[in-house]
């Protein structure tokens, strides 16, 4: 065997096998998820947990340590941060604020509020009850309760969009309302976490206000300064139908620079990526070109690093103890009841049938990748403990796994067709 003395080459020889194992596990678990009728992202989430101490580390501790030594984790962290920043950029860039019928804005806003407020209130109440038992030192009851409530109010917008597109429901009345409401939920959650992070990371209300002020100035600069400058780029892509290297340099550069700015401010790079996405041109051709060029690489190569880092920080074995099983059940119940029933009742109130309402409740209850980003920020900033992090990872897996079965239970194929292609004579069947 050749002996290598270059430390950079030695690091590469350690990182590449780790990435290869991560990709193989993500592919295998993703395929298994598809075989059982679940979205691929659920399998990728599970792959990350399995590579952590819960299974791989418990069965083969020596192999896991050799595969993920201390010097490899910072590299995976950098790659996952780039991946998250670009992913949140794509989420922001993919939001479509057009093509809504008259009155849909109000109904979508009502659905969004029903997806946030009940979960925030119930989760906050559970946070108050569990603060003395689960909170880390230095985190006030107020901050801990707000973090738990905010995490439970998240909706997995990208996964929800994928499910609706796969079922040809994205342009149905139900699909448009659900997508718009989920986008409002997630945007509100990131703003909420940005404020909470600023309050936690700074010493005193004065410093927090400075951080919040800088973040507000950044958002205004991006939306009212940078966005107009990017509009010609959107018109150029729309005229030519081409999205080449020159456009890609601009798009990726803006996204990463925005992530750097928010990281420097102190509210994490994913916020910058998301705002950069919102600042992109709204032309349909441009949005579709960006998604087509970037989404596959981000999801296949970079996001699995994030799932694995989350899994390496997740220890589910300890949750079997009675001391933690009760708190976990409370958190799961608060998240499920608040989102599922809150959204279902809201949909019914704005004129949908119970089947459609419970179908949307099931979809909105999925938290997927979005809550993992949320709680990883909380763990990195020491707003939550390792135990709470593990509980919320399990909440993410369970609610994401339940989304499609709950949807199918509420809207079996014979009723789903009526949602995609409604006929006035059969509208009452869905009530």
First to last CA, the chain: 70
Task: Note whether residue 425 is domain-resident.
Answer: no
- Residue pair 407/362 in contact (Cβ under 8 Å)? The answer is yes
**Of 201 and 232, more confident:** 232
Can you give the CATH number for the domain in which 200 is found? 1.20.1530.20
Residues 376-418 have pLDDT tens digits of 888 888 889 888 998 998 898 899 889 889 988 988 877 777 6
424 has pLDDT over 50 = no
Task: Note whether residue 424 is domain-resident.
Answer: no
Q: CA 220, 222, 228, 234 torsion: positive or negative?
A: negative
Domain carrying residue 395: 7-416
Q: Which residues of 325-337 are buried (b: 16+ CB within 10 A; e: fewer)?
A: eebbebbbebbbe
pLDDT of residue 121: 93
Task: Note whether residue 423 is domain-resident.
Answer: no
- Residue pair 294/82 in contact (Cβ under 8 Å)? The answer is no
pLDDT of residue 276: 93
Task: Note whether residue 431 is domain-resident.
Answer: no
How many other β-carbons are positioned within 10 Å of the β-carbon of residue 431? 12
Residues 288-303 have pLDDT tens digits of 899 888 988 898 899 8
- Distance of alpha carbon 3 from alpha carbon 13, whole angstroms: 12
CA atoms within 13 A on the CB side of 235: 6
Task: Note whether residue 428 is domain-resident.
Answer: no
Task: Note whether residue 427 is domain-resident.
Answer: no
3-class state of residue 256 by DSSP:
helix
Tell me the helix, strand and coil percentages in the chain, rounded to 5: 80, 0, 20
- Distance of alpha carbon 150 from alpha carbon 371, whole angstroms: 9
* Count of structural domains, the chain: 1
Residues 250-288 have pLDDT tens digits of 999 999 999 999 888 877 788 888 889 989 998 888 988
Integer CA distances (angstroms), 155 to 181, 238, 391, in order? 9, 31, 17
- Residue pair 141/135 in contact (Cβ under 8 Å)? The answer is yes
pLDDT of residue 420: 54
Task: Note whether residue 296 is domain-resident.
Answer: yes
Task: Note whether residue 195 is domain-resident.
Answer: yes
Compute φ and ψ for 93, nearest 5 degrees: -70, -25
Residues 178-226 have pLDDT tens digits of 877 887 787 777 777 777 877 776 655 666 677 778 888 998 999 999 9
CA atoms within 13 A on the CB side of 165: 8
Structure-block tokens of residue 112 = 């969004």
CA dihedral defined by 339, 340, 345, 346, rounded to 10 degrees?
A: 40
């Amino acid at each position: 065997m050749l002996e290598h003395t270059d430390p950079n080459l030695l690091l590469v020889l350690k990182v590449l096998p780790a990435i290869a194992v991560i990709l193989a596990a993500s592919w295998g678990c993703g395929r298994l998820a598809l075989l059982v009728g679940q979205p691929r992202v659920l399998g990728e989430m599970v792959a990350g947990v399995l590579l952590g101490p819960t299974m791989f580390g418990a069965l083969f501790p020596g192999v896991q340590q050799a595969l993920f030594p201390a010097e490899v984790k910072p590299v995976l962290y950098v790659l996952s941060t780039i991946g998250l920043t670009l992913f949140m950029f794509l989420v922001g860039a993919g939001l479509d604020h057009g093509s809504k019928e008259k009155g849909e804005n109000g109904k979508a806003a009502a659905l969004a509020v029903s997806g946030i407020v009940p979960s925030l209130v119930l989760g906050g109440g559970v946070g108050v009850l569990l603060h003395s038992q689960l909170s880390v030192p230095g985190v006030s009851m107020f901050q801990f309760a707000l973090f738990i409530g905010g995490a439970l109010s998240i909706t997995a917008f990208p996964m929800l969009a994928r499910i609706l597109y796969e079922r040809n429901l994205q342009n149905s009345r139900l699909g448009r309302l659900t997508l718009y409401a989920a986008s409002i939920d997630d945007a509100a959650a990131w703003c909420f976490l940005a404020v909470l992070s600023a309050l936690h990371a700074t010493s005193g209300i004065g410093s927090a206000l400075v951080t919040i002020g800088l973040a507000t100035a950044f958002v205004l600069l991006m939306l009212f300064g940078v966005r107009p400058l990017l509009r010609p780029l959107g018109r150029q892509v729309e005229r030519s139908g081409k999205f080449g290297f020159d456009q890609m340099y601009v798009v990726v550069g803006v996204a990463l620079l925005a992530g750097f700015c928010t990281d420097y401010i102190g509210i994490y790079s994913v916020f910058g990526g998301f705002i950069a996405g919102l600042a992109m041109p709204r032309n349909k051709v441009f949005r579709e070109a960006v998604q087509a060029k970037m989404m596959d690489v981000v999801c296949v190569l970079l996001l699995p690093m994030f799932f694995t880092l989350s899994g390496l920080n997740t220890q589910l074995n300890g949750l079997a103890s009675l001391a933690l099983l009760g708190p976990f059940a409370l958190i799961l119940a608060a998240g499920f009841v608040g989102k599922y029933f809150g959204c279902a009742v809201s949909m019914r109130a704005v004129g949908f049938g119970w089947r459609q309402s419970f179908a949307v409740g099931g979809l909105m209850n999925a938290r997927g990748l979005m809550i993992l980003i949320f709680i990883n920020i909380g763990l990195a900033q020491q707003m939550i403990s390792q135990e709470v992090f593990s509980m919320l990872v399990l909440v993410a897996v369970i609610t994401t796994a339940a989304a499609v079965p709950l949807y199918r239970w509420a809207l079996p194929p014979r009723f789903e067709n009526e949602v995609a292609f409604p006929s006035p004579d059969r509208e009452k069947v869905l009530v």
